[in-house]
Amino acid sequence: LPPTPEEVESFAKDGDYEARVERLLASPAHGERWGRWWLDQARYADSNG
């Protein structure tokens, strides 16, 4: 998801790139995205055939 206007403003003020990256990597959405990618790579499916 794109950042909220508040997040953009906060980043523009302090520019703390490393803290922003750490927050994004710690978010549940990051794990869900990579989990989906790995399931696709393993060709996982909830079907019988």
DSSP string, 3-42: PPHHHHHHHHHH--HHHHHHHHHHSHHHHHHHHHHHHHHT
User: Has residue 26 got a pLDDT over 70?
Assistant: yes
What global pTM score does this model have?
A: 0.54
| pLDDT > 80? residue 11 | yes
Domain boundaries, the chain: 5-41
- Indicate the average pLDDT of the chain: 86
Both structure tokens of 3: 């950042």
pLDDT of residue 30: 92
Amino acid 34: pLDDT: 92
Q: Which residues contact 11 (CB under 8 A, 6 or more apart)?
A: 3, 20
> Is a pLDDT exceeding 70 seen at residue 49?
no
- To the nearest 10°, report the CA torsion of 26, 10, 3, 30: -10
